Structure 1
Amino acid sequence: MSAANFEKAVAVVQGMPKDGPVQPTQAEQLKFYGLYKQANVGDVNTSRPGMMDFTGKAKWDAWKKEEGKSQEDAKKDYVEALLAVLNNHADDEQAQAWIKEITA
């Protein structure tokens, strides 16, 4: 899996329409977030957000789950996770186009 595949996958995730046919679950979105942070920053380097910051804690926890993973492995896992989501919507034309774009 190349860095270009990862960059394409990130662009697809960030560009997915909120009301489009492919809707990653909240758990899948957190997985993408954790892998993205691990791929770009490395291990968690901040303290866990406060008690009332529910979103921040969920994101921090998702990133923490990826701790110890190399940045290359995180990039590979990100692409594989996105392809798994897209393959669940393989009957959708947009999902098929994204799969081709990412794997090209």
Structure 2
Amino acid sequence: MTDIDQQFAQAQADVTQLLERPGNLTLLRLYALFKQASVGDAQDEKPGFTDIAGKYKYEAREALKGTPADDAKTRYVKLVEALKRGEAA
């Protein structure tokens, strides 16, 4: 396991221990970075207009299309660290 993989795993554990729930946009960023880091580019079809949450999740993932997994992991770790310090919401 590489250093970034260890940091990513620790960040996944840390995010569940945050004292304050992040805002919806931050949750979308966390979701998209996590999925890009662990699964890669979105391959499924864009959800229909009746699936609002699915549409936003898809668009957040689509914005990261082509981002290498290690870059997504690094950005996820940095975001979680900022949340732990109270610098992002």
TM norm structure 1? 0.75
C-alpha distance after superposition, 1:21-67 (max 9, x if no partner): 32211111000000011001111111111110011111111111111
Aligned-partner SS, 2:58: helix
Aligned-partner SS, 2:50: coil
Query: Where does residue 39 of structure 1 map in the other structure?
Result: 37
Query: Where does residue 93 of structure 1 map in the other structure?
Result: none
| Percent identity between the two aligned chains | 33
Aligned-partner SS, 1:2: helix
Confirm or deny: 8 A CA contact 1:38 1:71 kept in the other structure. Answer: yes
Q: Tell me how far apart the structure 2 counterparts of residues 46 and 67 of structure 1 sit (CA, whole Å).
A: 13
Query: Where does residue 6 of structure 1 map in the other structure?
Result: 8
- Residue 73 (1) aligns with residue 71 (2): yes
Letter in 2 for 1:42: G
Q: Of the two, which has the highest radius of gyration?
A: 1
TM norm structure 2? 0.86
Letter in 2 for 1:4: Q
Structure 2 gaps, min length 5: none
Letter in 2 for 1:5: Q
Letter in 1 for 2:49: M
Instruction: Return structure 1 stretches of 4+ with deviation > 6 angstroms.
Output: none
Structure 1 gaps, min length 5: 90-104
- After superposition, the CA RMSD in angstroms is 1.5
